Amino acid sequence: MSSRTSALFLTKRRTSDWVKDPVNFLLLILLFVLAYLILWPFLQLIIESLTWGEGDRRISREAIPGEFTWFHWLQATTGPISGKMLYGPLANTLKTGIIATTLALLVGGILAWCVVRSDMPGKSWLQPILTLPYIVPSFAVALSWEAVFRSPKVGGQPGLYEAVLGASPPEWISYGTFPISVTLAIHYFPFAYLLVAGALATIDSQMEEGALIAGAGRLMILRRITFPVVAPAFVAAFILTFGKTIGQFALPFLLGAPTQFHTVATMVYANLALGLESMAFVLAIILIAISLVSIWLSNRFVGKNSSRFETISGKGFRSRVIALGTWRWPIFLLVATFGFITGILPLILLGYQSIMLIDGFYDLSNMTSHFWLGKSNPEIAFGTPGVLHNNIILGATWNTLKLAFISAIIASIVGLIIAYIVVRRGDNPLAKILDQVAFIPFLFPTIAFGAMYLTLFAEPVGPIPALYGTFSLLVLISVVSRLPYSVKTGVMAVTQIGKELEEAAELTGASWGKRFRRIIIPLASPGVISGMMVSFVGVMRELSLIILLITPSTRVLMTVGFSYVEEGLTQLSNALVLIVAVLTIIGELVLLWFGKGKITRLREKHS
Amino acid sequence: MAKIIVRNLTKRYGDAVALDNISLEIGSGEFLVLLGPSGCGKTTLLRCLAGLETPDTGQIFLGEKKVFDGESKINIAPGKREVGMVFQSYALWPHLTVRDNLKFGLDVLNIPIKKANARLDKVLSDVGLSKFADRYPSELSGGQQQRVALARLLATEPNIFLMDEPLSNLDARLRMDMRVELKRFQAETNATTVYVTHDQTEAMTMSTQVVVMNNGKIEQVSAPQDLYRYPETTFVADFVGMPRINLIKLKEDSSNGTRYGNGEVSIDLGWSPGIREIVIGARPEDLILSQGDEAMGEEYEITAVMPNGPETFVQLARGNTAVLARADNDTKFKTSDIVHVGYNPKSINIYDTQTNSLVPYRGPK
């Protein structure tokens, strides 16, 4: 019997050892809990999409709530409204997703090359600015786009464009495919930039020098050597970015819904708003399917080619920067301007918008601090008080910080424990399964994941009370959605801790709990804490994930901002999103500071 | 203080056998070295003693205590075996100071603070690290880290020391110094010590007993002097000794049973092992070279002369048979010279090709 099977089907003697190991209990418990929180909701989503719901009585006389039916799937795929319900939004999703991803990759790739491989000046401070659009909520980019290109034809006040030029912008610039693709690209190009920069940094310039000696020109080297080597990273970046764009809800909603331009994600929301839950679930499943197919494609391509492109070699590794010559400063100016327009200008616009008494009227006399400092005034914004006196906003701020803090901590600790099991008990097939289950949330577009949790815990299950509308549910989904990342951080951290460090403690008689607390946690902490900060920022700016699960008592800043947009309270929504943006930037700064911090001692030598 | 008994220990990883029915007895206070090439099972055996690996079958006794029994499913946890271990990587906890590294084990044992502190001070001064008590491991040199690892083992006062290639990360000079020091601590504490290494010089100089392992089996157990002089198998003969021993396969040549040859070389052993095929093992220093004295033995051509400080090694060939001999360093031999090679029949070993094991000398005294 091979060791693989014997680990699962334990021999008699091993049984007693297996039971004595507390890690195995943790493994079983985690496996059960994650299956319940990840696999079961997905299954339920499918079941619900095949069941008549309460709201269905309005659209079909045959509806018997609780009974099995193909109705929703047929309606979505072949029914008279299928074009409007599925095919139109699906085309829009793919269209905006592909355009946005292509743009993001193009821009991100060029920037990555400039920063990693050229001698462009000012890299050290350009780099953080270039990542700003990704750090702030995607919503912020969309809001500032709207601030500029809003058109009174659709409703509301004119934007900056019309105020300056006197004519309203063409509608295709204001709403629909173009603005959605561009703003998505602005939000995601830093993501592509980071992925490509990482790949570029691994190229040994000796490869390029080899080509240079062979007499190849600079462009030829780029085309024949550099690009093919980073190609797998490009494909991976494309798929990952695309996967993220299709789950985006707030951004396409803001720049599409006013002209009835829908993506699958906004359609999920629209159907839920109409009480057509099963229909929404059908669309959510289709969204998940797109995501799964794209990830599968990426694995097929990258998996096949990755070993062929293995470039990391131990010795003689050098990365040479390429001299730009006279282009040095023009390119710098171009990059800096781009960084300003995409990273800083939107925040300035949001700030400016939030101090305008009458929306869209650009004049000094129109400036007010009311939306920040003012008390309730029935003549302004339906009497909604300014940010600092607004109990809803203060409550939401508290909720936001609480949610981000608690979720980040739980996700990191659970992630570390899972990572420990995956690394140290890798020969146990159950550990491999645990690893895979924890990764699954990564495959779910966020709004679809939110839809799954609508039905989960709607009613009490055993000892667990009904959680719908509670803060706990938000924590739960935030933690689970962060798990793929926190497990990954944890695996990196635990892998770096030599097994012997733990064995040395085991020999003194320290129990597993003690070893985990006193050896593993302190040694993993640098990596885990930075992972915690990433989760903190990630949860704070999240909207698509939780928009479906929010109730008045559990509001967070992003959802309040979103509801103000829906109510047309532009200044307040701008102020709120600005607050979130500033909070996330502070979080990133802490992270940056922490990364350079003192704990380097722990990383030395002990790999 | 504590005897170690290992009985019929077997450990498999899938289809690979790491330990193949190992039995071994280690006397109290002994310094036993497990020697062998990488992958021979020596580290696995050590880790089984520590309890860090679980064998499949067999028994292990440490002192009076039965710590493992495959039959009755006894498997005492590593922490309850009262052993201390020095790891190859030292395994010092990088987030703890030297002092806290030592203190960890005492905390687990619940030793009162006063007593613990006194003991730590003593151990730290014994290994010469008192000044470095508040430093972190990464702030110490390799040799100092090694001492911390040793001090951590001494602090818990175990009955048995287990050491897994503890000196392999040190440079040659430091390694020599630490050998002396390790030996001193072992002698002072009189703890039974099991020491794993692939370095035969280390094995020879430090041990009271050497166990040579190969392919999960024990090849030979003996005192270090005997190991060099009387290797019991061709594997041990080949593994021990630097430069390597000359092993030549020969067939019985004539009817009286004392002459063996391979068509190029012909040797009269002076006694009859009574086997058709043998391997003779002759260390370079057992061969006597002479220019001109035909009575010494057969003619060989010198193919290389390699001076090496106090001695000079001479590579010889007769047809396709190559042998290495040792000469004094004032030798005048040159490449292409012809020499006559002799030997003392008592000093060379004869092995049976069937069993690869030593045929005891039965010739004239």
In 3D, which of A476, A478, A496, A488 has the Cα closest to residue A435? Answer: A488
**Between the CA of residue B70 and those of A536, B78, B340, what are the distances in Å?**
50, 16, 59
What φ, ψ does residue A426 adopt, rounded to 5°?
-60, -20
pLDDT at A59 over 50: yes
Instruction: Give the pLDDT of residue A381.
Output: 66
Handedness of CA A454, A455, A461, A465 (dihedral sign): positive
Residue A68 is classified by DSSP as B
CB contact under 8 A, A605 and B75: no
Q: Whole-number mean pLDDT of chain A? A: 82
Beta strand ranges found along B63-204 (DSSP E): 65-69, 74-75, 83-86, 160-164, 192-197
CATH 1.10.3720.10 residue ranges in chain A?
19-41+392-607, 81-311
Judged by a CB distance cut-off of 8 A, whether residue A1 touches chain B is no
Report the range out of A302-306, A320-324, B273-277 with the highest average pLDDT. Answer: B273-277
Task: List pLDDT tens digits, range A579-603.
Answer: 889 988 888 888 777 665 434 433 3
Q: CA-to-CA distance for A91 and A107, rounded, in angstroms?
A: 24
What φ, ψ does residue A123 adopt, rounded to 5°?
-60, -40
pLDDT at A575 over 70: yes
Kind of pairing, strands B358-359 and B349-352? antiparallel
Average pLDDT over residues A18-38: 89
Of A28-37, A163-172, B120-129, B130-139, the range with the lowest mean pLDDT is A163-172
Kind of pairing, strands B338-343 and B298-308? antiparallel
- Residue keyed to tokens 């060939």: B317
Q: Which residue intervals of A21-122 are DSSP H helices?
A: 22-34, 40-49, 71-77, 82, 88-117
Q: CA-to-CA distance for A45 and A47, rounded, in angstroms?
A: 5
Token duo for residue B63: 């002192």
Which residues in chain B have Cβ-Cβ distances shorter than 8 Å to A605? 94, 138
DSSP H or E segment with residue B8: strand B4-13
Instruction: Give the pLDDT of residue A320.
Output: 64
Instruction: Give the pLDDT of residue A208.
Output: 67
Tell me the pLDDT band of A272, cut-offs 50, 70 and 90: confident
- Residue keyed to tokens 């496996």: A31
**Between the CA of residue A125 and those of A209, A595, A597, what are the distances in Å?**
29, 16, 18
Instruction: Give the pLDDT of residue A156.
Output: 66
Q: CA-to-CA distance for A272 and B49, rounded, in angstroms?
A: 64
Q: CA-to-CA distance for B161 and B31, rounded, in angstroms?
A: 9
Instruction: Give the pLDDT of residue A155.
Output: 64
pLDDT at B268 over 90: no
Token duo for residue B90: 């030292």
Instruction: Give the pLDDT of residue A122.
Output: 85
Task: List pLDDT tens digits, range A195-241.
Answer: 888 777 777 666 667 666 776 677 777 777 777 777 877 888 888 88
- Residue keyed to tokens 């072992």: B186
A451: amino acid identity, one letter? A
Cβ atoms of residues A235 and A302 within 8 Å: yes
Question: In this complex, which of A507, A523, A601 lies closest to B79 when CB atoms are compared?
Answer: A507
Report the range out of A12-26, A156-170, B299-313 with the highest average pLDDT. Answer: B299-313
**Between the CA of residue A45 and those of A280, A283, A479, what are the distances in Å?**
10, 10, 20
Q: Which residue has the higher pLDDT, A341 or A124?
A: A341
Task: List pLDDT tens digits, range A516-565.
Answer: 999 999 998 888 888 888 888 889 988 889 988 888 888 899 999 888 88
Cβ atoms of residues A150 and A159 within 8 Å: yes
The fourth-level CATH superfamily of domain A19-41+392-607 is: MetI-like (1.10.3720.10)
Kind of pairing, strands B311-318 and B277-282? unpaired
- Find the closest chain A residue to B51 by CA distance: A507
Of A366-375, A580-589, B111-120, B355-364, the range with the lowest mean pLDDT is A366-375
The fourth-level CATH superfamily of domain A81-311 is: MetI-like (1.10.3720.10)
Rounded to 10 deg, the angle between the A570-595 and A345-353 helix axes is 140
Instruction: Give the pLDDT of residue A306.
Output: 45
pLDDT at A124 over 90: no
Task: List pLDDT tens digits, range B190-221.
Answer: 999 999 999 999 999 999 999 999 999 999 99
Which residues in chain B have Cβ-Cβ distances shorter than 8 Å to A604? 94, 138
Instruction: Give the pLDDT of residue B301.
Output: 94
Instruction: Give the pLDDT of residue A88.
Output: 93
- Provide the residue ranges of all domains of chain B, joining segments of one domain with +: 4-237, 245-359
Task: List pLDDT tens digits, range B58-95.
Answer: 999 999 899 999 998 899 999 889 999 999 989 999 88
Beta strand ranges found along B47-123 (DSSP E): 57-62, 65-69, 74-75, 83-86
Cβ atoms of residues A37 and A476 within 8 Å: yes
Beta bridge partners of B197: B35
Q: What strand order describes the sheet that includes B266-268?
A: B266-268, B259-261, B246-252, B277-282, B349-352, B358-359
Q: Whole-number mean pLDDT of chain B? A: 91
List all residues 6 or more positions away from A167 whose beta carbon is below 8 Å from its beta carbon.
none
Beta bridge partners of B317: B301, B322
Q: Which residue has the higher pLDDT, B295 or B355?
A: B355
Q: CA-to-CA distance for B218 and A271, rounded, in angstroms?
A: 75
CB contact under 8 A, B109 and A519: no
Count how many pairs of residues, chain A against chain B, have C-beta atoms within 8 Å: 87
In 3D, which of A76, A530, A507, A414 has the Cα closest to residue B52? Answer: A507
Task: List pLDDT tens digits, range A133-144.
Answer: 988 888 889 988
**Between the CA of residue A576 and those of A139, A147, A587, what are the distances in Å?**
11, 15, 17
Average pLDDT over residues B30-52: 94
pLDDT at A54 over 80: no
Judged by a CB distance cut-off of 8 A, whether residue B42 touches chain A is no
CATH number corresponding to B4-237:
3.40.50.300
Q: Which residue has the higher pLDDT, A332 or A169?
A: A332
Instruction: Give the pLDDT of residue A275.
Output: 80
Share of chain A above pLDDT 70, in %: 86
Average pLDDT over residues B113-132: 93
Average pLDDT over residues A121-149: 87
DSSP H or E segment with residue B282: strand B277-282
User: How many CA atoms does the CB half-sphere of A357 hold within 13 Å?
Assistant: 11
Judged by a CB distance cut-off of 8 A, whether residue B75 touches chain A is yes
Cβ atoms of residues A523 and A362 within 8 Å: no
CATH class of segment(s) B245-359: mainly beta
Q: How far is A286 from chain B (nearest CA, A)?
A: 44
Which residues in chain B have Cβ-Cβ distances shorter than 8 Å to A527? none
pLDDT at A13 over 50: no
CB contact under 8 A, B80 and A509: yes
Cβ atoms of residues B238 and B244 within 8 Å: yes
Q: DSSP letters along B224-269, please?
A: HHHHHH--SBHHHHHHSSSSPPEEEEEEE-STTS-EEE-SS-EEE-
Judged by a CB distance cut-off of 8 A, whether residue A604 touches chain B is yes
